[in-house]
Chain A
Amino acid sequence: DVKVTQSSRYLVKRTGEKVFLECVQDMDHENMFWYRQDPGLGLRLIYFSYDVKMKEKGDIPEGYSVSREKKERFSLILESASTNQTSMYLCASREGPILEAFFGQGTRLTVV
């Protein structure tokens, strides 16, 4: 069974904290993604990575950075968390453009 695992289901952090969201996939996929999900806005792409140490900005990269040191792991970093980053964060991986993306369960982040 394919799996994308996000390290936390729920997180509560304080404004200004540095926050790490971790994602691991066991399918040897080249491509990994971080999305943010907000009501009425659907999923918006923050960053994606197409290889180890390679990354590209998505639609809303401001306030975020990413790290991919190993093929199976893709981390999303909030350098200085703000309340407007309170959201559901979804990690995904996929092998190719006509193949499905597999999603993790999501991390609901609350910044207070």
Chain B
Amino acid sequence: AQSVTQPDIHITVSEGASLELRCNYSYGATPYLFWYVQSPGQGLQLLLKYFSGDTLVQGIKGFEAEFKRSQSSFNLRKPSVHWSDAAEYFCAVGAPSAGNMLTFGGGTRLMVKP
């Protein structure tokens, strides 16, 4: 069965600083990978996804993520954080063998200092 680990429960960055949120997955083959964001009081919104091809994927709101097979990682990055990026971020993995199921990590809560 697949699993996802987000090692950082909380991260605080200053506005304008760069951001990297870590995601490690466990799955025997190439999984489908997703990053979602949840703003306070909101449902989850897809930021980006990877299922094949170029390992650097671009998403909405200026986010990108890089799939590294050798490290079983799919880290999310943003070059310059805005105060509105404060939210909780979830990495998720879908395994081709598991049909349409998605497995989520524990989430990383991002706080942005002015």
Residues of A whose CB lies within 8 Å of any CB of B are 4, 30-31, 33, 35, 40-45, 48, 50, 58, 90, 92, 94, 96-98, 100-101, 103-106
Contact present for B46 and A50 (CB under 8 Å): no
A101 to B106, CA, bound (A): 17
Q: What is the interface residue range for chain B against chain A?
A: 20 to 34
**Interchain pairs with CB closer than 8 A, number:** 61
A33 to B9, CA, bound (A): 25
Report chain A residues within 8 Å CB of B36.
Answer: 103
Contact present for B43 and A43 (CB under 8 Å): no
Residues of B whose CB lies within 8 Å of any CB of A are 4, 6, 9, 32, 34, 36, 41-46, 49, 51, 90, 92, 94, 96, 99-107
Report chain B residues within 8 Å CB of A50.
Answer: 99-100
A34 to B106, CA, bound (A): 16
